[in-house]
Each structure stands twice: as structure tokens, then as C-alpha cells.
A and B are shown apart, each in its own frame.
Chain A
Amino acid sequence: MTAVASDTTSIHAALGLTDAEYERICELLKRQPNHLELAMYAVMWSEHCSYKSSRRHLARLPTEAPWVLVGPGENAGVVDVGDGIAVAVRIESHNHPSAIEPYQGAATGVGGILRDIFTMGARPIALADPLRVGPLDEPRSNWIAEGIVSGISGYGNSVGVPTVAGEFVSCETYRDNPLVNVAALGIMPTERLVLGRATEVGSAAVLMGASTGRDGIGGVSVLASAGFDEAVDDATKRPSVQVGDPFEEKRLIEACLELLEAGLVSGIQDLGGAGLTCAASETASRGGTGMEVDVSVVPLRQHGMEPFEIMTSESQERMLAIVSPANVDRVLEICSRWEVSATVVGRVTGDGMLRVRDGVGGELLAEVPARTLHDDAPSYDRPMRPPADLAFRRSVDPAADPAAGSSSDCAADLLAMLADPSWVYRQYDHQLFLNTVVGPGRDATLLRLRDPRDGTPTGRGLAVSVDGNHRWCDADPRGGTAMVVVEAALNLACVGADPLALVNCLNFGNPTHPEVMWQLSEAIDGMAEACDALGVPVVGGNVSLYNETNGTNISPTPVVCLLGVHPDLVRRPVADELPPGTALMLLAPPGPAAHDVDAALDVAAEQTASVADGPARQVALGGSRWAWERRGCRDGALPELDLAGSVATARFVAAAVRDGLVHCAHDVSDGGIAVAIAEMCCHGGAGVHARVPSLGSPAPAARALFAEPPGRVLVAVEPGNVERLASAAAAAAVACRPLGSFGGSRVQIGRIAEPGFDIDLALEDTRARWSGALPEVFSQPVEEAAA
């Protein structure tokens, strides 16, 4: 018996398959696929599911370490954190759904990532949401941003997993294509680890959770694997966005964890992108088995659904469990107690085929070798090429822009770049489970690590930081990505944690554009270099391509989620408040070429300002937030990265925080040292009197204040500890330089060896601007009352 035939030669393009891909399917099947089979290949061979453009590049990332239990390729990466505890971590994008329907797009992103975590047997304990949106003063971007935050709040809070970290970035590159990345962490006893495999022939495939509807059909192929052409098309794509139900997901989590705890399922897989097709074929092909699915018993939300709709629907809150026949009744009973629908929809077979039938022994609707949906997915070595104007762009100095001149108002620049993100994270429950020691809004989040068996605190902590920087990666995808990884490590160091594992979400444009493939390849190399330097494995990731609108690609935006461990929470960073007289010091990799942090060299550089070798001694301003946002200049070279020195700095800072040598620490990131100092003042409720290194000559104030050379950390130090910190830093070959002290009611920042202050603001005004920036831009316009 062969599956029912239908002529499919003319429809593959509409499903997102190329002519060559269609021919390959015919070759594999030795016949034409029918409509349902073609739909299954279309979703599984989509960019989103198959990584066909990125696979060969991703292979260059380091993925191994003794503590890695599960690396890339499974639902989530899993690492051993000691005490018999394993941590599952995963990051995904939900960019295109969020562009079309921000609330549901973001909400279902949260739901999907949680299923990836509890699929592994882990209880989800934390979410992190790096978000990127268009200019907030434009109504549509404002609406998208508010919808995304509401969606995460509405779903995450209700499903009962705290959102403990995130980013909130606004830039015109994301105007029509926002980036919604979602990361999740889960913990489990190491022995609980479950893999999504169907190994035992004869086992039942149990579909759990929500009924299957027409929502989200073709989500991965229509939405995630193509760019946007015209905004007017958005409405036609809206039915491809799924609709989330956090209450269903909450019950599904509890039911699945109980099934796993009781050892009643041998494999489990969530139904995300590509729905039942993906779950059935993945569990079968990973287990080296086949599966027969009966679409007639799948609980449906709507009447008259076609088999291809049932097999590719992306309706949310569904799981596929592989259960021994002897355990089926107990599984159904536990699901019933949690009010979770559960139906046996198939069984594991031994012949490697994925068959879809209409009723037991009924019509054979599809029959394909399960592994061909995965293993035979195409892998492309797409052409790549650096942009033609690369050399020119890198030769530009944003500070030399004649329009900028010397009249720049540094105080105004500073104020424009300050924004307290609490408007975002206070909408998220970030405290549930009683683990949050350092919450969102700081360098990194620090959570209590408790034994998942009985909740006993281990005394240790888990640290998380999510980071990306499209400006750096636009200037230089390789160096920029390495800087992003370094920043994440410095963020962990600021809460006293050491890095353990990384997951990435690679958000790029259209991979058929050679410049985009070059960016992707370069970014992966930069990430590999930084991870190697830190000794951190990449345990999972997600690639989001086709982030383009009308042919314009977004700036390359690799985002990383770095997981770390804090060995002893007793030695955590102390409260924010900065007592008057607290010293402000800079820790950084030594080396005048990048940082010029040594006072003697700083002065020497200024004295030789007129000498022709000046430019070589400057820290570049390319890719800085100041250049992009305050000068409208996207050109320029990135500052140099001293990887080894930055790693040494991160290790030193983490140790200094744990040893109580510093009161608190804050890494210098976008906006440069002035923004970082002002943020410390706002958090600490104290003014400051500081002089910062000039970073080379010629030395306009903006370079000293707003350049973003990597590897720098600011620390607030009690006066009695200044000497100890300085000698410890010297022993660790980390540069340590006093910049001034906190206290008073003014934020005063100047340059070393320059008279006066470049910035002199009232602390009160600075804080008002910082805390008011986001609430102001999101305040609702007053509606005129109808007469």
C-alpha cells in the first residue's frame, strides 16, 4: 500500500521549497510526494527547523567541556552544576510572529521555550527576555514594544515562571523587524535527564495538552523563514501566528513533570515549530525507529481540518510523550488529574517510516522515511562576501565629524542615553520561587541554587546575563561578537560569578545576501574565539535568519545567554547605596593601545598629540552608542579587544566581589564610561566627582566619556580597601586606576589632565531623567472625551 497520490509539482514554491529541494524529495521517495508529505518536508526543511544555511558554520563553535551533559541539537543544553544538580538552558527567537502580532508573538515565545526546558525533565525556574524594537517615539514601534512586554508579562507571570533578566534596546534597524529572544533555565536532579527519543518499538505516542487548531499553520516556513516585503502583507500572515494559553501550559508543566518524576515516559517532545510532524519525526529519527500517527483521533479545535493542517499546525501547549503500553493508563490518569487532555495518537514502529493514517488501518495519507525529514535536510554553503565599503567605513572617525565640532554638549549626550529599564521588568514577576538574590536591571541576575529534590539551598548561586550589541556587530561582526561574549562574562563577574556555559540566538538578515552570510560566519568565529578564551562551551542555540524588510537587513545581532555559578552566596555583592567618600576605580586589561589606562602613558599621549602617529593611539569610537545615536554615524572601527586581558579582568573582578574588596561593580558597556558612572550614581543615590582617562589623542571629551573599549569594569571601593584592591590587581596583571569618589549632590565627570568638568549635572536631575525616560515614552496620549 502506498500513500494516496496527488500532483504536487506546482505547489512546492508556495510552501517555501526550491525546485532543487523538491527534486531531492522526489529522489528520496523515488516518487512524487503527495500534498501532505510535501507539507511535512516543507516545514522540516525550512530554515527555522533545518539550519540549512548556518549548520556548517555552527560546527566551528566549541561545544565540549567535562560538565556538559547535553550539547547542541537536543531541546535544550544541559550542564552539571555539582551537588547532583543539572541545569537546562535554551534560547529561541520569536521575531517574526512578534512583528505581526506583538502580544501573542511574544507570549507564545515564552510558552515554547518553557516546553523545551521541561521536555528535558527540568522544572523551569527562570526566563530571560532580550528585546529589540524600533524607535519608541514612533507610534507603531511603540505599540509593538508595549505589546511584546505585555505578552511576556501576561504569559510568563500567569504560567508561573519568573522573568529574571533581559535587555530592552531601541534602534531604527528594528523598526519593521523587532527581535524577541527568549531564554529559559530549568533545574533537575542529574539522574532525571530525559531525551526526546522513541526507542522502544510498540510504545504509544500520547499527544498531551491543547487541542489542535488552524493557528500557526506554516509558522516556521511562512513566517520564520522569509523576510517581510510590504507592511500590508502582515495581515495576511496573521493566521500563521499562534495564540497562547498560559493556564493550559501551567497544567501541562505540572503533568509532564509528574510523569517524568514517576518514570512513566521514555521520551517526550514538545510540539513547537512544525507541530506534530516535527515531534513525531524527531522522536523517531533520534531513536532510530519509525512512527505511525492516526490523524483521525487528534483532538481538534475546528471541524473539517485537513490532514496536512493537523500535521503542521503549531497550536501551542502540546507535548508528545512516548509511553510503554503498560504505562499508558497511568499516564492518562495523571493527565486527567491535572485536567490535561491526553490521547494515544500513534505508536512507535521498527521500520524507520513515518506513516500518517486516517483511522486505525485506514487510508495511508503519508509515508516517508522519518530520518529523511532531518538527516537529509539540505545544507547550503551559501556565498559570502564582506561589504564593498568595509575599508572605507572602518576608516571613519565619528568624533572627527565636522558637524560635531568641539561644541558638543556632553551633558545632553549623557542624559539622552540614560534609561532605567525598570518600566519593563517591573511588569514581570521576577521573584517567584524565592530565588532572586540580584534581580533584573543590574549587570547580571543572581539566583539561589537549591536542590531540586527538596528545595534545600546549596549556598551557591546561578548567575545569568543576556547580552547583544548590534552596533558593535555592525561595525565588525567578528570583533563585535567577541566583545558581546566578553561583556556577558564581565556582567557575571560583577555579581561574583564565573561563567559555565553559553547559548546563543543568532539574529541576522537574508542568508541569500552574501554580506549577511559573511556577517554570520564572522560572528560565529568571533563567538568561538571568545568562548575559547573563557573556556566556556556553547551548549545550544537558535538561528533566526530573514530578519529583513523590503530588502533591508537588520544589523547583525547575535545575542548570548551566559550561565554562571557563584560559589558562595554569603559573599555576594552588597546593597546599592553608596556612602559618601566611597572611591570610584576602573579595572581593565592593561595595555595603552586599547585603554590608555596608565596615567603616564595617558599624559604622554596628550603631549604627542601633534605627532603624526596620533590616530594609532586613539580608542576608536566606531560602533559606539554615542556615534550612532548622538552623531547619526554608523561608520568607524571598533576599539581593539584584548581577549586574554579581558578574561583576566573578569576573573579578577569576580574574585574581588567575592572577597569583599569592592562595594559593588558595574561593567562599562554601551554609552561608555560616563553612562556607567551615572548609572552607579542613580542606583547608589550619590553624586560623583570623577576624572576619566582621555583614551588617546586628539582627545575630544566625547571619546573619553563615551567610547566603548571592551574589558572595563567600574568598582565602588571603601576607602580602606583601595590599597588592597590596587595591590591585588597588580598581582593579577589587571590595570587599576582611581577615578574619583562618590558623594555630594552633583554628577561631575571630567578628563584626567584637563581642567573643569565635561559633565556637571545635579544628581536629582540625572536620576529624574534616568527613571523617567521609559515611562515618558510609553505614557498614553490623553484621549479627548467625546461630547
Chain B
Amino acid sequence: MSAATNVPMSVTVGVVQFPGTNCDLDTIDALADLGARTALLRSDETSLGGVDAVVIPGGFAHGDYLRTGAIARFSPIMNAVASFAGAGGPVVGICNGFQVLTEAGLLPGALRPNAGLSFLCQPQQLIMASVNHALGHGLSPSDQLSIPINHFEGNYVCDRATLQRLHTNGQIVMRYVANPNGSVDNIAGVCNEAGNVVGLMPHPERATSELLGSADGRKLLEALLCAAASTRQAVGFHAA
């Protein structure tokens, strides 16, 4: 059975666009390919318009000037995203989106420049660490995925106490098999305690077809659509 047929057709995913975001249309393409409806949410909007999940895609919000995500976090849309997350709605930040979520305080830790001090765009082998989060449905811990990375600031850091908490609560979403950027504990993605907010450096939207080198990213995006569907049933965000 094709995985796409598992996806509830009625789910709507909002994709946030800051000035300088550049993976917005790719993310929309990849989600639409899985049967989801999508809505482009401009950063100056104050409402999410009743979406069932939010993706903050990759790119260079506000040119990454000052510091990645440092300006974007003050955008009007981020208040709406924070409320949505606080109510348990699934929120996923990919790459620059992950950086925005840490700057906004929705995820612990921070992302520093890569240890090698150069930008890295390359395929990356990943191992799922936990599955109790918005990208875990249908996956198992220790599942191995091949998904590309594309970043200069992907070196995840946090203090010792936070790292301990991430371990204890199962908040480490995935790890690199071979660490490309110096990230602590090989972390490639983390989630909040509730598991509904996830940030990851790899780009699942770039791994949705064998034609492009890997289809492993579909598994994560399908998991997001399932999370969106179940949260919607439980909480009724579409009415918000």
C-alpha cells in the first residue's frame, strides 16, 4: 500500500514565509505531493487561518542578518505560531525554521556555525532516536534515513542540564550517523517536552523521490500529516 493513501486528504499545513525564506515552495510541493492542502503564511500575518499544522521551512529569513532566526522570531506570525504550539498543534522547523524555533524559545538549545566553518550541502545518514513526537508516526527508533542537509549553522549546542533533560524525556528526535557539523551528541533534531514542536536540520522535502536521490523524507512528512490529523480531531484547530 502506498504510504500516501494513509494521509487524510483534508489536512491543511501552513508554511511560513519570512522575507528571505527560500524552501517555502519546495516544502509546499512536497506536502502537496503527499495529498495535503497547503497555505502560505506570510510573516506579517497575525493568524494561522485554521491550519492543522505549521512548517517553518528553510532559507535565510531576513538574510540571516544579525544571527539566524534572530529577526524572524519577532515577526507577527510567530505569536500565532507560539499560541498554536502552546495548544498542542504540530509545528515543525526545518533548518532555518529550526533556528527560528530555538530563537523563539519554542525549542531548547541553539545552532552555532558548523565546526568546519563552511557551508555543507550533502546527503546525510540519520538514525531516528525517538518517535514520540510530531514526526514519529510510522517510524521506529533506530530507523535509518538518508536525507540531505544544507546549512552553515547546524552545530546544535545546549548546556549539560538541558542535554540531560533531552535524554530523559526522549526529546532527541534524530542523530547523524557521521557528525558533519560538531553538533553535541550528534543531534540532528530535537522536540519540546510535549513532542508537538520539532526542529531538524536535514531537509525532508528534498528527499521525496528516488529521482532526487532518496524518498526517505516522505516518511517524516507523512508522519507530520498524521499528527496534524489526530491533533485536529482531538483539539479542533480548524475552528480556531
Chain A positions near chain B (C-beta within 8 angstroms): 150, 153-154, 157-160, 245-247, 250-251, 338-339, 422, 425-434, 436-437, 448, 455, 569, 572
Interface string of B42-79 (1 = CB under 8 A from A): 00000000000000000110111100000000000000
Other than the known A251-B20, A455-B25, what 4 A-B pairs have Cβ atoms closer than 8 Å?
A246-B63, A251-B19, A431-B206, A437-B212
B40 at the interface (CB under 8 A from A): no
Q: Which residues of B contact A428 (CB under 8 A)?
A: 119, 121
9 closest A-B pairs by CB:
A247-B63, A160-B22, A158-B60, A427-B119, A153-B119, A426-B122, A429-B121, A434-B26, A431-B206
Give per-residue flags for B198-240: 1 if the beta carbon is below 8 A from chain A beta carbons, else 0: 0000010110110110000000000000000000000000000
Instruction: Chain A residues near B203: list those with CB within 8 A.
Output: 431
Cα(A737)–Cα(B222), bound, Å: 49
Once bound together, how far apart are the Cα atoms of A338 and B120, in whole Å?
29
Q: Which residues of A contact B212 (CB under 8 A)?
A: 431, 434, 436-437
Contact A427 B118, beta carbon cutoff 8 Å = yes
Chain B residues near A338 (CB-CB < 8 A)? 19
Could you say which of A154, A159, A427 contacts B120, with CB atoms under 8 Å apart?
A427
A429 to B152 alpha-carbon distance, docked (Å): 11
Complex CA distance for A431 and B213, rounded to whole angstroms: 10
Please give, as numbers and ranges, the residues of chain B lying within 8 Å of A455 by CB-CB distance: 25, 29
**Residue of A at shortest CB range from B32?**
A455
Contact A160 B63, beta carbon cutoff 8 Å = no
Main SS of the interface on chain B? mixed
Q: Which of A154, A339, A433 is close to B26, meaning CB atoms less than 8 Å apart? A: A433
Complexed CA–CA distance, A601 and B212 (Å): 44
Given contacts A158-B60, A569-B211, contact A250 B121 (CB under 8 A): no
Please, could you name 21 A-B residue pairs with CB atoms under 8 Å apart, sorted by A?
A153-B119, A154-B119, A158-B64, A159-B22, A160-B59, A245-B63, A250-B60, A425-B121, A426-B119, A426-B120, A426-B122, A427-B119, A429-B119, A430-B121, A431-B148, A431-B206, A431-B212, A432-B150, A434-B29, A434-B206, A434-B208
Q: Which residues of A contact B62 (CB under 8 A)?
A: 247
Instruction: With A426-B121, A437-B211 as known contacts, state yes or no: A432 contacts B23, CB within 8 Å.
Output: yes
Q: Which residue from A153, A154, A432 sits with its C-beta under 8 Å from B22?
A: A432
Q: Which of B22, B29, B206 contacts A250 (CB 8 A)?
A: B22
With the chains together, A386 CA to B205 CA distance in Å? Answer: 56
Contact digits for B22-42, partner A, Cβ 8 Å, 1 yes 0 no:
110110011000000000000
A250 near B26 (CB under 8 angstroms)? Answer: no
Q: How far is the CA of A407 from the CA of B151 in the complex (A)?
A: 48
Q: How far is the CA of A448 from the CA of B64 in the complex (A)?
A: 29
Give the CA-CA distance A436 to B212 in the complex, in Å: 6
Closest beta carbon of chain B to A20's beta carbon, Å? 47
Q: Which residues of chain B come closer than 8 Å to A436, judged between CB atoms?
A: 212
Within 8 A of A (CB), among B106-134: 118-122
Are A434 and B121 in contact (CB-based, < 8 A)?
Answer: no
Query: Quick one: given A431-B148, A431-B150, A434-B26, are A247 and B60 in contact (CB under 8 Å)?
Result: yes
Q: Chain B: which residue is nearest A570 at the CB level?
A: B211
Residues from chain A with a CB closer than 8 A to the CB of B60 are 157-158, 160, 246-247, 250
Q: Which residues of B contact A431 (CB under 8 A)?
A: 121, 148, 150, 203, 206, 212
Q: Which residues of B contact A430 (CB under 8 A)?
A: 121
A165 to chain B, nearest CB (A): 14
| Residue of chain B at shortest CB distance from A778 | B118
Complex Cα–Cα for A247 and B208 (A) = 28
- CB-CB nearest in chain A for B59: A160
Residue in B63, B152, B205 whose beta carbon sits within 8 Å of that of A434 in the complex? B205
Determine the chain A residues whose CB is within 8 A of the CB of B20 once the complex forms.
158, 160, 247, 250-251
- CA distance in complex: A218, B4 (Å): 57
Check B29 against A247 for contact (C-beta < 8 Å). no
- Chain A residues with Cβ below 8 Å from B152 are 157
Identify which of residues 146-205 in chain B touch chain A, using a CB-to-CB cut-off of 8 Å.
Answer: 148, 150, 152, 203, 205
List residues of chain B with CB within 8 A of the CB of A437: 211-212
Neighbouring A residues of B19 by C-beta, 8 Å: 247, 250-251, 338-339
CA distance A455 to B118 in the complex (A): 32
How many Å lie between the Cα of A432 and that of B148 in the bound state?
11
- Inter-chain CA distance A588–B88, complex, in Å, is 64
On chain B, the residues within 8 Å of A154 by CB distance are 119
Residue ID in chain B nearest A339 by CB atoms? B19
Q: How far is the CA of A43 from the CA of B60 in the complex (A)?
A: 35
Chain A residue with Cβ nearest B150: A429
> Are B121 and A247 closer than 8 Å at their CB atoms?
no
Determine which of B26, B30, B211 lies in contact with A432 in the assembled complex, contact meaning CB atoms within 8 Å: B26
Cβ contacts under 8 Å, B150 to chain A:
157, 429, 431-432
Contacts of A159 in B (CB 8 A): 22
Whole-angstrom CA separation of A72 from B209 in the bound complex: 37
Q: In whole angstroms, what is the CA distance A445 to B25 when docked?
A: 22
Distance between B94 CB and nearest chain A CB, rounded to angstroms: 13
Q: Mark B1-28, 1 if CB is under 8 A from A, else 0.
A: 0000000000000000001101101100
Q: Which residues of B contact A427 (CB under 8 A)?
A: 118-121
Instruction: Give bound CA distance, A112 to B26, whole Å.
Output: 25
Tell me the complex Cα distance, A534–B205, Å: 38
Interface centre among B23, B26, B211, B212 (most CB of A within 10 A): B211
Within 8 A of A (CB), among B91-109: none
Would you give the shortest CB distance from A311 to chain B, in whole angstroms? 28
